[in-house]
Homo-oligomer: A and B are copies of this chain.
Amino acid sequence: MNTTRGYTATKAELMNRLSKIEGQVRGVARMVEEDRYCIDVVTQINAARAALDKVALGLLDGHVRHCLVGGHGGPDDPDLQAEELMGAVGRMISR
């Protein structure tokens, strides 16, 4: 009986992905350290960023599924719920 927030089902998967992303960021730092060709470093950064996007989408998916549609967690007021979610989506898009 717990009060997890919606992405419990894939929590292990999210943790795995984040641990992999941490390694990707370390890899980017190593490339910079070694003066690797910048275009190649940027390619690695894009990979880390795409992986972060996927984690964020997984979290939002869980949020929509459990908090909004399922009615568990988050603000009670539907307008606040929508505002909060769209705020997060808007910040992802216009970064």
How many copies the complex holds: the figure is 4
Does A95 contact B49, Cβ atoms closer than 8 Å? Answer: yes
Cα A62 to Cα B36 in complex, Å, equals 13
Hey, what's the 0/1 contact readout for A45-71 against B, CB within 8 Å counting as 1?
A: 110111011011101111111011110
Report A's interface with B, CB cutoff 8 A: 2-8, 11, 14-15, 18-19, 21-22, 25-26, 28-29, 32-33, 35-39, 41-43, 45-46, 48-50, 52-53, 55-57, 59-65, 67-70, 73-74, 78-79, 81-95
* 18 further A-B pairs in the complex, CB-CB below 8 A; given A15-B33, A39-B87, A65-B79: A3-B35, A5-B38, A7-B38, A18-B28, A18-B32, A37-B73, A38-B67, A42-B56, A43-B88, A45-B59, A46-B91, A52-B52, A53-B93, A60-B86, A60-B89, A65-B82, A69-B78, A93-B93
